[in-house]
């Protein structure tokens, strides 16, 4: 029986590539989405991947959704915390609603999605948790105090959870993508995008499939000795210490 992987925000952008990559690697994949039913159904029809709708910031919805996945597909072996939103703005003009929305989806979801699966992973002596942070969680970004704070928090969450669960056969790792060629990035004005690419030493945007390949490795049995790692994949745009 194939292992079950849950990918939050798994029907679009980087998440969609991760879902497809894990399916190709032999996992039974459940991709969650928040609101775009039409795109999620099109993704399901195209890929055959199971899709589930709930808000990752809602603790009760996550518990109920993950219970449904376990009921229908089996216990969750791999969790990819990928879902994220932006509500950009300079901090002196940022509303608390903008702050709270980003922290809830991007950071609270580390708790709401991981807590319902961690005990069963510990009981079975196996688990793979992959958290998607960001280059901007490592270096900060003007106009993104909320997003940078949340994504930096994801890194700290990863390191602490890895230490707590390593002896139970659970690995917890974090990926920090740079600028990836997705619909969200493509929507940036051409002149701004060209300016961004000039700051990337490899001279291009990343591909979602490159992130997916790294996730597939971290989810595999081959990655059993890697835990607590923060992996940068940004074309050399920001070279983190350590």
Catalytic residue numbers, as ranges: 147
Residue recorded with tokens 């106009």: 143
Is the Cβ–Cβ distance between 185 and 211 less than 8 Å? no
Q: Which residues, including other chains, have CB under 8 Å from residue 129's CB and lie 6 or more apart? A: 78, 79, 80, 81, 114, 161, 170, 171, 172, 173
Is the Cβ–Cβ distance between 29 and 23 less than 8 Å? yes
Angle between helices 13-24 and 37-47 (to 10 degrees): 20
Spatial strand order of the sheet with 4-7 comes to: 50-53, 28-33, 4-7, 76-81, 127-132, 170-177, 230-233
The Cα 23–Cα 68 span in angstroms is 19
């Amino acid at each position: 029986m194939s292992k079950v992987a849950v990918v939050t925000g798994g029907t679009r952008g980087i998440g969609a590539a991760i879902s497809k990559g894990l399916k190709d690697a032999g996992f039974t994949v459940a991709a969650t989405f928040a609101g775009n039913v039409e795109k999620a159904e099109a993704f399901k029809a195209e890929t055959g991947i199971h899709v589930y709708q709930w808000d990752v910031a809602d603790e009760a919805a996550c518990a109920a959704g993950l219970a449904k996945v376990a009921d229908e597909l089996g216990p969750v072996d791999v969790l990819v915390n990928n879902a994220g939103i932006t509500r950009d703005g300079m901090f002196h003009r940022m509303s608390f609603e903008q702050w709270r929305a980003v922290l809830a989806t991007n950071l609270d979801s580390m708790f709401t999605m991981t807590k319902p699966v961690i005990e069963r992973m510990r009981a079975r002596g196996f688990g793979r948790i992959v958290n998607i942070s960001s280059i901007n969680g490592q270096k900060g970004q003007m106009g993104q105090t909320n997003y940078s704070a949340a994504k930096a928090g994801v890194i700290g969450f990863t390191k602490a959870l890895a230490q707590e669960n390593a002896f139970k056969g659970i690995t917890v790792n974090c990926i920090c993508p740079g600028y990836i060629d997705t619909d969200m990035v493509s929507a940036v004005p051409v002149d701004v995008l060209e300016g961004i690419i000039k700051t990337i030493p490899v001279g291009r945007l990343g591909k979602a499939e490159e992130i997916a390949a790294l996730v597939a490795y971290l989810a595999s049995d081959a990655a059993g000795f890697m835990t607590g790692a923060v992996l940068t994949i940004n074309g050399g745009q920001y070279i983190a210490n350590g």
